[in-house]
Amino acid sequence: MWKEVLSVSFYRAVFSEFLATSIYVFFGLGSVLRWPSALPTILQISITFNLAAATVVQISWHVSGAHVNPAVTMAFLLGSRISLARAASYMVAQLLGGIAGAATLYGVTPAEVQGSLGINTVRSNITSGQAVAVELILTFQLVLCYFASTDRHTNANSPATFIGLSVALGHLIGVSLLGCCQSPLSPMHWGRLQCIRHSSQARGVGPAVYAYPWVAPATPVPILALPGLQPGVFLGRSSAA
Amino acid sequence: MWKEVLSVSFYRAVFSEFLATSIYVFFGLGSVLRWPSALPTILQISITFNLAAATVVQISWHVSGAHVNPAVTMAFLLGSRISLARAASYMVAQLLGGIAGAATLYGVTPAEVQGSLGINTVRSNITSGQAVAVELILTFQLVLCYFASTDRHTNANSPATFIGLSVALGHLIGVSLLGCCQSPLSPMHWGRLQCIRHSSQARGVGPAVYAYPWVAPATPVPILALPGLQPGVFLGRSSAA
Amino acid sequence: MWKEVLSVSFYRAVFSEFLATSIYVFFGLGSVLRWPSALPTILQISITFNLAAATVVQISWHVSGAHVNPAVTMAFLLGSRISLARAASYMVAQLLGGIAGAATLYGVTPAEVQGSLGINTVRSNITSGQAVAVELILTFQLVLCYFASTDRHTNANSPATFIGLSVALGHLIGVSLLGCCQSPLSPMHWGRLQCIRHSSQARGVGPAVYAYPWVAPATPVPILALPGLQPGVFLGRSSAA
Amino acid sequence: MWKEVLSVSFYRAVFSEFLATSIYVFFGLGSVLRWPSALPTILQISITFNLAAATVVQISWHVSGAHVNPAVTMAFLLGSRISLARAASYMVAQLLGGIAGAATLYGVTPAEVQGSLGINTVRSNITSGQAVAVELILTFQLVLCYFASTDRHTNANSPATFIGLSVALGHLIGVSLLGCCQSPLSPMHWGRLQCIRHSSQARGVGPAVYAYPWVAPATPVPILALPGLQPGVFLGRSSAA
């Protein structure tokens, strides 16, 4: 293990996760800024997330594997594809990257379009159980797509295209229901919450923060669900026609 | 045959069809929910189907071949690419997956946006003959694209991209004419009909169900048309320039 | 030459061009139907053409090379990549395919949304010289993209993705200026003109037909421009970094 | 060096940069024309830039490497991937190509839709420091994506898809903030400024030109930032899982 942690490539990979997550969060949150002349549609937000995810996966997948999301890192850890030290370092880098990306966006945009920087707000007519279930499904399909797209035995090419599509798919359905996230451990949450604490609770952010914890209990659930995703268990490579 | 049916990979493939179809139907039907603040456009619906199809094909194609649609399974059976046992198991898994996906969506969304869960309604100014013809053309191009994209001799890569495009193409034209489906044997039909029977016939679903059978006779037609699609018959590999 | 023309693969290729063009024209023209509740936007039309082109190229490229457009066939002939017999057969098949596709669409859609079935109308404030120039540029980038994407030495994969993008690119700019076409020899023109002659000159189609000939003189120009496109002349493979 | 500069492939590459940039600028600026019946949305502009970038990269990447942007050429020079002579020739070709593309568009469109031909205008409520920072981030992710997508050791396929996505990503965020550009050395700037000087300062272009210089000091900043992008420094290939 020490051999891995002390190598140059390990630190490159951790830095790559930091950089990729900060770019992803900068552009992702940037897509929900409330420009008065052109309020973003769900389609535009989803396509921006598609392109942001595809671009950062393309940038970082041959360096770090392009997780960009703690739920994905957790899944790879449970699937025995990466070491514990690598997983822990990735998750810290992702959370810091999320904060850096959101802070940068906060710094370069005029205050009147920032709103709550896109913090998630569960719709009032959805129960917390429904929100948890949706969050689970969105994360589930994303993690499955990661496993299917990064299997070196069946994919010769960059996984960026399909991970981008899968991220956008989650947003097309999730934005209306949850304000969208895909895993509550996500660096987007952390980035936004940190930024907002530093700056403004007056702009209606308070209720959003209070509404948010209802989704948080979902965190352990996708984690529990993930071992089943190991290729060797039920979606493994087969000799099917 | 027993050797195939009794293998672990066979059950993985059948489960994979179930899982892929339930995810596909969940997101596909999710795209037509009637959110009052943002009614979905045809473009948004079509793009969601594109991403949903591409994601589930990417997830399942190396396990089961990613049919996700009984019309495709039927075409592969008639083209002698899969066995009868596998085809029958796939179709049952797809229908159950469709019911599971639609039921899940029904469970996690507020009643006021469900509408008829996107059940197909043929436009009143289109005859049943025209509806059958359109359904045939939509299914025909999808099946052709499946055959062209999954031929191991000419494609090194995942067929997910092109199957996603082909699914979206059908919806861009079909949503206005038919409420869209691509093969009336589709698990989407079954999923929606089952869900709706369990829950509500008061929300205007009745007329849709009555209108629907006009398209149903199309079922045998794509099936009859399919043997002609065998690569060996008229669109086979050639030595063209 | 007789050996080529008498082979089964030659007839498969010609039939493939017919089939691909009819599907392309069916969906392409289908995207401009004037549904009262949802007039198509330029983005939606362009994306439909993208998906239609990508799907039919994917279906037919390993059979016939997926030209689908006489301007492309002419370019391949001038570039000495296909024989004269093949080029002539392809162009006839494309024109017949265009007629078949437009006629099918005409048959399955209600009269009130057909309009002029998307026949091209040059904007009144654009001169014929400007229209010819735009048509030339749209065709030029499409043909360049075909050459770059179908070179067997540099591309291992299906050219469908990039040809689809290039077709959509032309429409994003061309729809506003010309009603869009990419090569006036296109089967879309023929298909629409034939259909319209059979059916209606009362619905405002007349002016469009009279306006149309101003673009027709462009036909020989792209043809003259094409020999310069041969890889060996000025965009050939090089050893650049 | 003389051996490289005197080769035929060198001139093909320089011409390819000229041609690709002129097509890119023609379609990119064409997407922002102000058609009264259909003002372009940010999504439509971004998708047009996506398709334009992908098409010209596909056309020219095996000839010249498809830089199309002086910032990219500068990054490749600093990364020691191309020679000084090639970099200088590419940049001159790109600037001339930008002028040619903008002039062609200016020639083929009616005056009333030209507006300022899409010249960048920084929003009045954004400081010049913010504008420089956004410009830096947009260029940074584009250059990173170029490096990741054109590394011959990890990519077997055309980089066109991912460069297109990255260009569009920058526009989805940048159009609202800057009127968008990605590197102030860009041929788009030169093309537009040259065209506009030849023709009209009366149509409100004056203020835009005066507002523009605030972003210009950003030029040296991305250049200084680029050496850090060399694969060998901090995002290099690694043996990560």
CATH, residue D27: 1.20.1080.10
Q: Higher-confidence residue: A123 or B49? A: B49
Residue A57 has pLDDT above 60, yes or no: yes
Task: Identify whether the C-beta of residue B113 lies closer than 8 Å to the C-beta of residue B33.
Answer: yes
Q: Is B26 exposed, middle or buried (0-12, 13-18, 19+ CB in 10 A)?
A: buried
Residue range(s) defining the domain that contains residue D28:
2-229
Q: What are the chain C neighbours of D82 within 8 Å (beta carbons)?
A: 241
Q: What does the pLDDT read at residue D152? A: 62
Positive or negative torsion for Cα B104, B105, B111, B115: negative
For residue D123, the model assigns a pLDDT of 67
Choose among D41, D154, D241: nearest Cβ to A65: D241
- Cβ within 8 Å, pair B137-C104: yes
Mean pLDDT for all residues in chain B: 72
Is pLDDT at A173 greater than 90 in this prediction? no
Does D44 sit within 8 Å of C235, measured CB to CB? Answer: no
Task: Name the DSSP letter for residue C41.
Answer: P
> Which of the four pLDDT bands, split at 50, 70 and 90, describes residue A91?
confident
pLDDT tier at B119 (50, 70, 90 boundaries)? low
Which of C24, C19, C72 is CA-nearest to residue C48? C24
Lowest mean pLDDT among B68-82, C206-220, D101-115, D160-174: C206-220
Q: Which residues contact residue B145 at a Cβ distance below 8 angstroms, ignoring those fewer than 6 apart?
A: B162, B163, B165, B166, C55, C58, C59
Q: Mean pLDDT score of chain A, rounded to an integer?
A: 72
pLDDT tens digits along D85-131: 999 999 889 888 888 888 888 888 888 887 766 666 666 677 777 77
Q: Is residue D98 part of a domain?
A: yes
Q: Which residue has the tokens 């019946």?
A: D37
Average pLDDT over residues A8-24: 89
Interface test mutation site (partner D, options A21, A63, A106, max chain D beta carbons within 10 A): A63
Nearest to D43 among A43, A109, A156 (CB): A43
Neighbours of chain B (3+ CB pairs under 8 A): A, C
Tokens representing B63 are 């396990």
- Contact yes or no for C109 and B144 at CB 8 A: no
> Measured between alpha carbons, how far is residue A20 from residues A68, A99, A167, B37, C155 in Å?
6, 12, 15, 33, 29
Distance in angstroms (rounded) separating the CA atoms of residues C179 and A22: 42
pLDDT of residue A231: 39
Q: Which amino acid is at D116?
A: S
Which residues of chain C make contact with D160, given a CB cutoff of 8 A? Answer: 162
ipTM: 0.82
pLDDT at C89 (0 to 100): 93
- Rounded to an integer, the average pLDDT of A164-183 is 77
Element at B131 (helix H, strand E): helix B128-150
Residue A230 distance to chain B (closest CA, Å): 13
Q: How far, in Å, CA of B95 to CA of B99, rounded?
A: 6
Q: With respect to residue B76, please indicate whether it lies within any of the assigned structural domains.
A: yes
Chain B CB contacts of A154 below 8 Å: 62
Average pLDDT over residues B23-33: 88
Assigned domain for D64 exists:
yes
- pLDDT, position B39: 78
Residue C241 placed within a domain: no
Two tokens, residue A155:
């994919």
Residue D77: pLDDT band with limits 50, 70, 90: confident
Unique residue bearing structure tokens 């083209």: B79
Amino acid at B166: S
- Comparing B186-190, C214-218, D170-174, the range with the smallest average pLDDT is C214-218
Do A83 and A6 contact (CB within 8 A), yes or no?
no
Residue D193: predicted pLDDT = 60
Neighbours of chain C (3+ CB pairs under 8 A): B, D
Tally of domains in chain C: 1
Q: What is the pLDDT of residue C217?
A: 33
Q: What is the pLDDT of residue D223?
A: 44
Predicted confidence at residue D240, as pLDDT, reads 32
B107/A133 Cβ within 8 A: yes
Which pLDDT score, from 0 to 100, does residue C48 have? 92
B85 vs D190, residue with greater confidence: B85
pLDDT at D187 exceeding the cut of 60: yes
Of A75-79, B63-67, D138-142, which gets the smallest average pLDDT?
A75-79
Please state the rounded mean pLDDT for residues C56-84: 83
Furthest C-alpha separation in chain A: 59
C107–chain B Cβ distance below 8 A for any pair: yes
Check residue D34 and give its pLDDT: 79
Nearest-10 crossing angle of helices C160-178, C128-150: 180
The answer to whether residue D115 neighbours chain C at the CB level (below 8 Å) is: no
pLDDT value of position A155: 59
- Report the residue of A29, A51, A146 to disrupt the D interface, i.e. the one with the largest count of D CBs within 10 Å: A51
Whether C3 has a pLDDT exceeding 70, the answer reads yes
The secondary structure element, H or E, covering residue B71 is helix B70-78
Q: A64 and A57 in contact (C-beta within 8 Å)?
A: no
Reported confidence tier of residue A193, pLDDT bands at 50, 70, 90: low
Q: Which residue has the higher pLDDT, A182 or D7?
A: D7
Q: Would you say residue A241 lies in a domain?
A: no
Residues 69-98 of D with CB under 8 A from C: 76, 81-83, 86
Q: Verify whether the Cβ–Cβ distance D64 to C240 is below 8 Å.
A: yes
Confidence at B189, pLDDT banded by 50, 70, 90: low
Q: Which pLDDT tens digit goes with each residue over D161-179?
A: 888 998 888 888 887 777 6
Tell me which H or E stretch contains C14.
helix C8-30
Q: Write the DSSP assignment of D121-175 as a string of letters.
A: ---TTS-HHHHHHHHHHHHHHHHHHHHHHH-TTT--S-THHHHHHHHHHHHHHHH
Out of B92-106, B167-181, C125-139, D193-207, the most confident range is B92-106
D180 vs A: CB within 8 A: no
Chain B residue with the nearest C-alpha to that of C150: B241
- C143-192 pLDDT per residue, tens: 888 878 887 655 666 788 888 998 888 888 887 777 655 555 566 656 66
CB contact under 8 A, C234 and D12: yes
**Partner-chain contact B35 A176, CB within 8 Å:** yes
First to last CA, chain B: 40
More confident residue, C53 or A206: C53
Query: Is C182:C72 a contact under the CB 8 Å cutoff?
Result: no
The chain C residue lying nearest B237, using CA atoms, is C63
pLDDT at C74 over 90: no
d(CA B55, CA B39): 24
B209 vs A22, more confident: A22
Encode pLDDT of D198-236 as tens digits: 443 333 323 333 333 333 333 334 443 443 344 333 344
Q: Is A202 on the interface with D (CB under 8 A)?
A: no
A55·D155 Cβ contact <8 A: no
Asked if the structure places residue C39 within a domain, the reply is yes
Q: In the structure encoding, which two tokens stand for residue C78, read together?
A: 């001038």
The pLDDT assigned to B130 comes to 79
| C-alpha–C-alpha distance, residues A14 and A4, integer Å | 12
* Average pLDDT of the residues in B33-44: 82
Euclidean distance between CA atoms D221 and D225, whole angstroms? 6
Confidence at residue C225, expressed as pLDDT on a 0 to 100 scale: 43
Which of residues A37 and C104 earns the better pLDDT score? C104
Distance from CA of C140 to the nearest CA of B (A): 22
Rg for chain C, CA atoms, rounded: 18
What residues of A are in contact with residue D162 (Cβ under 8 Å)? Answer: 54-55, 58, 158, 160
Question: CB contact, 8 Å: B155 with chain A?
Answer: no
pLDDT band at B177 (very low <50, low <70, confident <90, very high): confident
Residue A124 lies in a domain: yes
Query: Which residues of chain A neighbour B62 with C-beta distances below 8 Å?
Result: 148, 151, 154, 237-238, 240
pLDDT-wise least confident of A126-130, A192-196, D3-7: A192-196
Q: Is residue A198 part of a domain?
A: yes
Number of H helices, E strands in chain C: 10, 0
Optimal mutation site among A18, A108, A172, interface D, most CBs of chain D within 10 A:
A108
- The yes-or-no verdict on residue A86 having pLDDT over 90 is yes
The better pLDDT of the pair B80, A91 is held by A91
Q: Which residues of C touch B134 (CB under 8 A)?
A: 108
Please answer whether residues C231 and C151 qualify as being in contact, where contact means their C-beta atoms are separated by less than 8 angstroms: yes
Q: What was the pLDDT predicted at C36?
A: 76
Question: What average pLDDT does range B30-59 have in this prediction?
Answer: 87
Mean pLDDT computed over every residue of chain D: 72
CB A204 within 8 A of CB A116: yes
Long-range Cβ pairs for the range D128-134 (8 Å, 24+): D128/D214, D128/D215, D128/D217, D130/A107, D130/A108, D130/A109, D130/D177, D131/D177, D131/D178, D131/D214, D131/D215, D131/D218, D132/D215, D132/D217, D132/D218, D132/D221, D133/A104, D133/A107, D133/A108, D134/A108, D134/D173, D134/D174, D134/D177, D134/D178
What single DSSP character describes residue C214? Answer: G
Q: How much is the pLDDT for A74? A: 79
Nearest to C141 among D15, D23, D156 (CB): D23
Closest Cα to residue B55, out of B168, B152, B155?
A: B168
pLDDT confidence of residue B207: 33
Q: Do A59 and D144 touch (CB under 8 A)?
A: yes
The mean per-residue pLDDT over the stretch A9-25 comes to: 90
How far from each other are the two terminal CA atoms of chain C, in whole angstroms?
40
Mean pLDDT is lowest, of A81-95, B136-150, B198-212, D45-59, for B198-212
Q: Which residues contact B76 (CB under 8 A, 6 or more apart)?
A: A241, B65, B67, B82, B87, B146
A221 pLDDT tier (thresholds 50, 70, 90): very low
Test mutation, C39, C59, C105, C157, chain B, max B CBs within 10 A: C59
